[in-house]
Amino acid sequence: MCARAGLSGRHEHREIRQDHRHLKATATRDLSDLLAKGLLRVEGVEQATRYAVNVPGWEQPALKP
């Protein structure tokens, strides 16, 4: 999903659904799949949950001002 959706950096579940027109069930399934494969890591809890790329050698791109 990451490459297909063009994701980079940290995202909330809500952002993924809105930005990429995912249905809630699809976003949940895709995030669960990426977490199970170890390609994402979870940061925070409940409403503060964020998903970050967890790939060796990958660096967070600089944020645009």
Helix intervals (H) in the chain: 2-5, 13-19, 24-36
Q: Is 6 domain-assigned?
A: yes
Q: Are 50 and 10 in contact (CB under 8 A)?
A: yes
- Residue 41 is which amino acid? R
Domain containing residue 18: CATH number: 1.10.10
Number of domains in the chain: 1
pLDDT score of 28: 83
Q: Is 33 domain-assigned?
A: yes
Q: Is 20 domain-assigned?
A: yes
**Residue 7 pLDDT > 50:** yes
For residue 30, what are the domain limits? 2-53
Q: Is 41 domain-assigned?
A: yes
3-state secondary structure of 61: coil
**Residue 16 pLDDT > 60:** yes
The reply to whether the predicted model has a pTM over 0.75 is no
Q: How far apart are CA 17 and CA 52, in angstroms?
A: 16
